[in-house]
């Protein structure tokens, strides 16, 4: 019997998840069906419960429902709890279990696919929104020499630092800092509006990798700034997208799909 999965969002037409999971299923021999569900704003809970009642096994969650899904969960993994939101659910009887796969996906893309281990490196993350909250713990646990946050609202960065104090030290980057970092990650929404986040002077000095969590935008203003500063490796979030989906697939099905070929097919040259 075919197992049903879906991605919930509004809008959701742009989602690549059905294509990604169809590829995973074909390559691993899993009998699943994966669709898109555009739930009405204010009607997410009803749509989710209906999907589960009709035999749905699990789902991915995208904007604007990640907080709504988290609130509906009856079981929450540590990754989801620390993120304060969820992008992945699975159903077991009356249980709704919430997970967050973004951080693991990002870390795997950086370390495995791009070949830039974080251990003993100085890492800067720009932003302090939901994407950064979801990614912070796995990055911190990778053992960087320094993991710093820079956000235009320092209070949000401070909240993430304090939330993860038991797991390691996060520093707050001084916007006037002139010392560079080994790896600089853009977790702000600036690339969606084709703008560049505020960057400290010299932030790219000695930088080996500049990574924009947004994907499919080509050479974003952030990546252009890194390129102009001579950063040798530029990447966008397409690898993170595929890897977080692979983590969700593994959580649902107990089998890990290959990702390298799909990432290569989906990657837009950054020129």
Mean pLDDT computed over 251-271 = 94
pLDDT at 134: 87
The pLDDT of residue 154 is above 80: yes
pLDDT at 177: 79
Q: What's the pLDDT at 229?
A: 97
For residue 191, is pLDDT > 90? no
122, 229: one domain = yes
Instruction: Please state which of the ranges 86-90, 216-220, 230-234, 239-243 shows the lowest mean pLDDT.
Output: 216-220
Are residues 199 and 86 located together in one domain of the fold? no
Instruction: Give the per-residue pLDDT at 136.
Output: 93
Look at the pTM and tell me if it is higher than 0.75. Answer: yes
22 has pLDDT over 90: yes
Active site residues: 66
What is the pLDDT, as a whole number, of residue 143? 97
> What pLDDT, in 10s, does the model give residues 52-79?
999 999 999 998 999 999 999 999 999 9
Query: Is residue 90 located within the same domain as residue 164?
Result: no
**Domain end (from 40, 71, 100):** 100
196 touches 174 (CB < 8 A) = no
The predicted pLDDT at position 103 comes to 94
Q: pLDDT confidence of 193, banded at 50, 70, 90?
A: confident
Residues 137 and 227 in one domain: yes
- The CATH number assigned to the domain holding 177 equals 3.40.50.720
Average pLDDT (168-190) is 92
Residue 85 domain-assigned? yes
Rounded mean pLDDT of the chain? 95
Picking from 141, 147, 104, the residue whose alpha carbon sits closest to that of residue 128 is: 147
Asked whether residue 12 is domain-assigned, the answer is yes
Check whether residue 46 and residue 139 sit in a common domain: no
Whether 91 and 144 map to the same domain: the answer is no
- Tell me: do 136 and 227 sit in the same domain: yes
Task: Kindly indicate the confidence band of residue 151, based on its pLDDT and cuts at 50, 70 and 90.
Answer: very high
Kindly tell me if the per-residue pLDDT of 271 is higher than 80: no
| Residues sharing a CB contact under 8 Å with residue 237, sequence separation 6 or more, in sequence order | 106, 109, 211, 212, 213, 214, 215
Written as one string, the DSSP assignment of the chain is -PEEEEEEESS-TT--HHHHHHHHHHHHT--EEEEEEEPPTT-HHHHHHHHHHTTEEEEEE-TT-HHHHHHH-SEE-HHHHHHTS-SEEEEETTEEEEE--HHHHHHHIIIIIS----TT-EEEEE--SHHHHHHHHHHHHT--SEEEEE-SSHHHHHHHHHHTTTT---EEPPTT-----SEEEE-SSGGGGT------TTTTTT--EEEES--SS-S-HHHHHHHHTT-SEEEETHHHHHHHHHHHHHHHHS-PPP-HHHHHHHPPP--
* pLDDT at site 265: 95
For residue 149, is it within any domain? Answer: yes
Same domain, 79 and 166: no
- Residue 188: pLDDT over 80: yes
- Is residue 130 very low, low, confident or very high in pLDDT (cuts 50, 70, 90)? confident
Q: Which domain, by its residues, includes 215?
A: 115-236
Is 247 a member of any domain?
no
Residue 197 has pLDDT above 80, yes or no: yes
Q: Are residues 91 and 175 in the same domain?
A: no
Residue 84 has pLDDT above 90, yes or no: no
Q: Flag whether 28 is in a domain.
A: yes
The tally of domains found in the chain comes to 2
The pLDDT, as a whole number, for residue 192 is 80
């Amino acid at each position: 019997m075919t197992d049903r999965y879906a991605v919930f969002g509004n809008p959701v037409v742009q989602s690549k998840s059905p294509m990604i999971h169809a590829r995973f299923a074909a390559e691993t021999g899993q009998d699943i069906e994966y669709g898109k569900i555009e739930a009405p704003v204010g009607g997410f809970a009803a749509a989710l419960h209906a999907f589960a009642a009709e035999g749905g096994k699990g789902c991915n969650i995208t904007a604007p429902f990640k907080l709504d899904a988290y609130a509906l969960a009856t079981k929450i993994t540590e990754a989801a709890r620390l993120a304060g939101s969820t992008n992945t659910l699975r159903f077991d009887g009356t249980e709704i279990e919430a997970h967050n796969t973004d951080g693991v996906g990002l870390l795997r893309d950086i370390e495995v696919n791009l070949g830039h281990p974080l251990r003993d490196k100085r890492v800067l993350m720009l932003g302090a929104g939901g994407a950064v909250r979801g990614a912070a713990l796995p990055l911190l646990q990778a053992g960087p020499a320094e993991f710093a946050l820079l956000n235009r609202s320092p209070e949000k960065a401070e909240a993430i630092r304090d939330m993860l104090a038991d797991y390691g030290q996060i520093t707050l980057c001084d916007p006037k800092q002139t010392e560079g970092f080994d790896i600089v990650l853009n977790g702000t929404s600036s690339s969606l509006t084709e703008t560049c986040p505020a960057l400290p002077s010299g932030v790219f000095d000695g930088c080996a990798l500049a990574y924009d969590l947004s994907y499919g935008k080509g050479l974003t203003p952030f990546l252009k700034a890194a390129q102009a500063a001579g950063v040798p490796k530029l990447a966008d979030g397409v690898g993170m997208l595929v890897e977080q989906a692979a983590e969700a697939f593994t959580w649902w099905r107990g089998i890990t799909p290959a990702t390298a070929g799909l990432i290569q097919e989906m990657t837009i040259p950054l020129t």
